[in-house]
Amino acid sequence: MFQFNGFNMMFPDHSRPFNTTYKCYSVSMLPGNERQDVENGGKIIMPPSALDQLTRLNVEYPMLFKLTNNKINRSTHAGVLEFVADEGKIYIPYWMMHNLLLDEGDIVQIESVSLPVAKYSKFQPQSVEFLDITNPKAVLENCLRNFACLTTGDLIAIKYNNYTYELSVLETKPGPAVTIIECDMNVEFAPPVGYTEPQKKAKEEEPMAVDPAELMPEPAGFVAFKGSGSRLDGKKKKDGSVSESAPAHRANYVRGIPDYDHPFGLLRFDRTVRKVESNEDKQEEDPFEAFKGAGFSLKKSRK
């Protein structure tokens, strides 16, 4: 029988995944200038030896990793930004350390994984101040460009206008962990923590600027003692001698009541024929005759 031990040495097993452990530190511990691009995203910094090992393995691109805290069996997912960390160390964002409950220098296991492309995700802001953002979807889309993947249950942090907002990843489809690199993902927001629906107050009737009673017409017909008095001697009457005539009372204003049972879309026109009284009919009923009254004499007539 033929043995191919040398063949196996020339062509190593490419199906073996990348799986190793590192000491974990926050980005603030990274030597050099402050790296806000790492802190505000979802990618990590690994040592150069990891890149050398990954190039010799059949690792799918983009490189995605599963970070696990074996002490509490808690994990999340992240991408890689650079390979410039010290040997045996990795640097991750602080919010990621908070999710994994890691302290500076704790051991974390890193394993290369392949994740499905995201199609749907749902987030819940952790503060009501998130509602002050005019276009939250556009802000989230811009901030997620620094992320490589999302994991259900994670609490990510995004920075906007010098303020850090925390968002809880409630749901991701088609799996509990997805990649968001070059994807078309539908985003929904749940009500923020502590948000209460505003109660609708009943509208109070505002007082009218003009009293409707003033708009009522003057009373028609006979009004007692409406005229003004005059003196027989021709003198003007005194202002205080005669009391002013009582003002005519207007009709009380009654507000109309709408017909609430009126069917929607139905118009009604009043077509009842009303008899119009003409001037001729009035003259026939009450004709006017001048000097119709009878005369009387003060002196008795002599017979």
Decide if 19-112 and 120-189 have a common fold: no
Which CATH code of 3.40.50.20, 3.10.330.10, 3.30.470.20, 1.10.579.10 fits the domain covering 120-189?
3.10.330.10
pLDDT tens track, the chain, 303 positions: 344 444 444 445 445 689 999 999 998 888 877 777 788 899 999 999 999 999 888 788 889 999 999 999 999 999 999 999 999 999 999 999 999 999 999 999 999 999 999 999 999 999 999 999 999 999 999 999 999 999 999 999 998 988 899 999 999 999 999 999 989 999 999 999 988 888 877 677 666 666 666 666 666 666 667 677 777 777 776 655 444 555 556 656 666 677 778 788 888 776 766 676 666 655 555 566 777 777 777 776 665
86 burial type by CB count under 10 A (0-12 exposed, 13-18 middle, 19+ buried): middle
DSSP state of 117: B
Per domain, the residue ranges of the chain are 19-112, 120-189
Residue 272 has which token pair? 């009842």
- Fold annotation for 19-112: Barwin-like endoglucanases (2.40.40)
Helices (H) and strands (E) in the chain, counts: 6, 12
pTM for this model (two decimals):
0.61
Burial class (CB in 10 A: 0-12, 13-18, 19+), 88: exposed
Q: Six-digit token pair at 190?
A: 């749940």
* CB-based burial label for 260 (10 Å; 0-12, 13-18, 19+): exposed
From residue 194, alpha-carbon distances to 84, 128, 190, 191, 219 in Å are 42, 7, 12, 8, 62
CB 79 within 8 A of CB 148: yes
Alpha-carbon span 90 to 110, nearest angstrom? 10
* Residue 123 token pair: 């987030």
